[in-house]
Amino acid sequence: MQAKPIPLTAADIQAKVQTLRDKLVDVVIPFAEENPGLPTQAIMAGLGELLIQLSIAQVGPQLTVNFLGDLQEAVRRFSPSVN
């Protein structure tokens, strides 16, 4: 019999997400610096593909599409020059 997972609080989730961000920075930035001929867009595409695959597997295509739309809106808000 498998134990039920203990629900996480918002603070727990934020802490875990920050840990993930830190791990990604620890890997992605050095990887980019070690591969100066690799375009940033290629790294972004690889990370994006991983994110999309994970999202579809976990929450399905429709929520993934919604999430990508939210990301697009966030880019517009943070970069006023983007149309």
pLDDT value of residue 6: 82
> Alpha-carbon distance 10 to 15, whole Å?
9
> Alpha-carbon distance 44 to 75, whole Å?
14
* Inside any domain, residue 20: no
In angstroms, what CA-CA distances link 45 with 1, 38, 39, 41, 71? 40, 12, 10, 6, 14
pLDDT value of residue 1: 62
pLDDT tens, N- to C-terminus, the chain (83 residues): 677 778 899 999 999 999 999 999 999 999 999 999 999 999 999 999 999 999 999 999 999 999 999 999 999 999 977 65
* Inside any domain, residue 61: yes
Q: Model pTM? A: 0.74
pLDDT value of residue 81: 75
Name the strand (E) or helix (H) holding 69.
helix 61-78
Q: Which tokens go with 64? A: 């993934």
What range does the domain containing 50 cover?
40-83
* Inside any domain, residue 28: no
